[in-house]
Amino acid sequence: MADNKPIGIFDSGFGGLTVFRRILERLPRYDYIYLGDNARTPYGNRSFETVLKFATQGVGHLFSLGCRLVVIACNTASAKALRTIQQAWLPRNYPGLRVLGVIRPTVESIRSFTKTNHVALWATPGTVRSESFAIEIAKYAPQVKLFQQACPMLVPLVEAGELEGPGVDCYINKYWDQTRAQSPDIDTLLLGCTHYPLLMPRLKALLPEGVRVVEQGLLVAPSLEDYLKRHPEIESALTRGGACRYLTTDQCQYFDELAEKFMGLKISSEKAEIAG
Ligand code: DGL
């Protein structure tokens, strides 16, 4: 894949595969490199400076492997690092290359899901504290009222392989009660964290029927397609061999097991040593 110009997908760990699989379904012909920073996951409680440092290292690694365009699939990194990466780091270090996040494409499509305009967001504490979704909603969907709920226990549960059972149900019920207390008119729950779509079966079982649960990958994939149509100078530089490489900064076996267990993806990941 040495001469390939793939699309890079960066995440703090394996959760970004929930976004990547939707991108692959929609745009299967391009070459891709997925990089999960499992050695340093989770990012959800880390400081702005730390997330920025880790994200620039990850994106820089993907650029060094030939990627021309990187999608930061991680909401926490999109919330805390993307603006600085786009406005300062990229022009200084990699003018001509591009980095996209997941928050803006999500927010741009959210209006089509809600009738009441009362939308809940579940995300990591870091994403909620950053107010990034609220800032983007004010710009791109000002009629939507956003009710944010930090869900600190959901990533550890998913990472531990707990996708069902009393522990998961207890926390989903708890976070939903807290969310509903903010507004009884919420009709849409936006999953603003890469890991949460893995809890979809329990979310659908436990949340009231009238509440639509929105999976971000389904919004990010068409938005990426649209971006590539609007930017032929980027699109034409990408190679189309349909090849996928999976890199992790931690144990490959663990990554492969989780990818298979949760995504049904049989993959053989490679260890990445990224500049620390
Ligand atoms: N990828 C993160 C996100 O979407 C969740 C895991 C983490 O905290 O690193 O916010």
Determine if ligand 1 sits within 6 Å of the CB of residue 80: no
Residue 276 pLDDT grade (very low, low, confident, very high; cuts 50, 70, 90): low
Residues 56 and 138 in one domain: no
Percent share of the chain, pLDDT over 70: 99
Determine if ligand 1 sits within 6 Å of the CB of residue 74: yes
Cα 224 from Cα 227, distance rounded (Å): 5
Residues 151 and 210 in one domain: yes
User: Is 122 a member of any domain?
Assistant: yes
Residues 173 and 75 in one domain: no
Distance 127 CA to ligand 1 centre (A): 9
Domains: count for the chain: 2
Task: Say if residue 1's pLDDT is above 60.
Answer: no
Residues 112 and 211 in one domain: yes
Task: Say if residue 3's pLDDT is above 60.
Answer: yes
The CATH number of whichever domain residue 178 belongs to comes to 3.40.50.1860
Give the residue from 194, 215, 236 where a domain finishes.
215
Tens digit of each residue's pLDDT (9 = 90 or more) over 83-129: 999 999 999 999 999 999 999 999 999 999 999 999 999 999 999 99
For residues 185 and 115, the answer to whether their CB atoms sit within 8 Å is: no
Residues 227 and 90 in one domain: yes
Cα 274 from Cα 216, distance rounded (Å): 27
Query: What pLDDT does residue 161 have?
Result: 86
The chain-wide mean pLDDT, for the chain, equals: 95
What is the domain range of residue 117? 104-215
Cα 173 from Cα 169, distance rounded (Å): 6
Give the residue from 169, 190, 215 where a domain finishes.
215
Quick one: which atom of ligand 1 is closest to the CA of 11? Answer: 1
Residues 15 and 83 in one domain: yes
Distance 197 CA to ligand 1 centre (A): 12
User: Is 190 a member of any domain?
Assistant: yes
β-pairing verdict for 7-11 and 32-36: parallel
Ligand 1: residue whose CA is nearest its atom 6? 42
198-231 burial, b for 16+ CB within 10 Å, e for fewer?
bbeebbeeebeeebebbbbbebbbebbeebbeee
Pocket mutation for ligand 1, best pick of 193, 250, 258 (most atoms within 8 Å of C-beta): 193
Tens digit of each residue's pLDDT (9 = 90 or more) over 201-227: 999 999 999 999 999 999 999 999 999
Residues 211 and 123 in one domain: yes
Give the residue from 198, 215, 232 where a domain finishes.
215
- Average pLDDT value for residue range 140-163: 94
Residue 233 pLDDT grade (very low, low, confident, very high; cuts 50, 70, 90): very high
Query: What pLDDT does residue 160 have?
Result: 86
Residues 86 and 126 in one domain: no
Residues annotated as catalytic are: 74, 193
What contacts 272, CB < 8 A, 6 or more positions away?
35, 61, 247, 248, 249
Ligand 1: residue whose CA is nearest its atom 8? 44
Determine if ligand 1 sits within 6 Å of the CB of residue 36: no
Distance 46 CA to ligand 1 centre (A): 10
User: Is 249 a member of any domain?
Assistant: yes
Distance 193 CA to ligand 1 centre (A): 6
- Average pLDDT value for residue range 172-197: 98
Cα 260 from Cα 266, distance rounded (Å): 5
User: Is 129 a member of any domain?
Assistant: yes
Q: How far is CA 120 from the centre of its chain?
A: 17
Tens digit of each residue's pLDDT (9 = 90 or more) over 54-94: 999 999 999 999 999 999 999 999 999 999 999 999 999 99
Residues 108 and 84 in one domain: no
Residues 124 and 157 in one domain: yes
Residues 155 and 243 in one domain: no
Nearest one of 134, 132, 158, 159 to 51, comparing CA atoms: 132
Lowest pLDDT segment from 142-146, 202-206, 239-243, 261-265: 261-265
User: Is 1 a member of any domain?
Assistant: no
